[in-house]
Amino acid sequence: MINNKKILAVITARAGSKRLPNKNILDLFGKPLIAWSIDAAKESKYLDKIIVSTDSDIIKDISINQGAEIPFLRPKTLASDTADSISVLKHAIEFYDKEFEYIVLLQPTSPLRTVDDIDKAIELLDANTKAIVSVCKTEHSPLWSNTLPSDYSMKNFIKKEMRNIRSQDLPPYYRLNGALYIANINYLYKNNGFLGEQTKAYIMSIENSIDIDTELDFLMVETILKRKIV
């Protein structure tokens, strides 16, 4: 709870994953991947209820064992490759029928997101800030990126005014990192999402922003955790 307003945390974890099968329950340093997000959420001083929205009985059992609540199994219509996160969140919100004022989306594929990240982001909410979205600096400037034509010509790949600028002198750019989404529920419905005029960024480190989508991502997280834990 913050400012006397209750907060629902939803960890979204469907069974299907094409690029990295069963990624939400892969063993990561002795516990399932999803457990890292559940444990961080449980340490928060602001989250009033932590639930996992899943279509999987296996993920359900693991999540309950880790201390999260599973009030329902997600309908198949919200567990397909084309199902969007906002519809999944609305399903959870409507299950509780206006019990909460804020919602937090925690994707289990961001295991390096910490309780400190969660609580500091929540603390940014105020009368003029209705939503928070986590970002991190881009690993490479988009000013040195472009699409390629069919003949792979580099003729107009980089704008002339950018060609002789050192990389360290380029302006910083930020990207969504998928680790944290927080919103006033009325604001979420109004914008059909988290982005709007009263949304602010919470900046995370590049290291804590790794989103596991492939085996390479998983190996990177393992390497970082090995350095921290061992």
CATH code: domain of residue 91? 3.90.550.10
| Structural domains in the chain (count) | 1
Q: At CA 98, angle to CA 96 and CA 100, rounded to 5?
A: 85
| pLDDT per position as a tens digit, 188-206 | 999 999 999 999 999 999 9
In a domain, 133, yes or no: yes
Residue 18's pLDDT is: 72
Given a cut of 70, whether residue 230 has pLDDT beyond it is no
Given a cut of 90, whether residue 51 has pLDDT beyond it is yes
Residue 169's pLDDT is: 86
Given a cut of 70, whether residue 33 has pLDDT beyond it is yes
**Residue 99, domain extent:** 7-139+174-229
In a domain, 82, yes or no: yes
DSSP state of 218: H
Tell me the C-alpha to C-alpha distance, in Å, between residue 226 and each of 101, 102, 112, 222, 229: 38, 35, 12, 6, 5
Can you tell me the mean pLDDT for 84-109? Answer: 95
Can you tell me the mean pLDDT for 145-156? Answer: 94
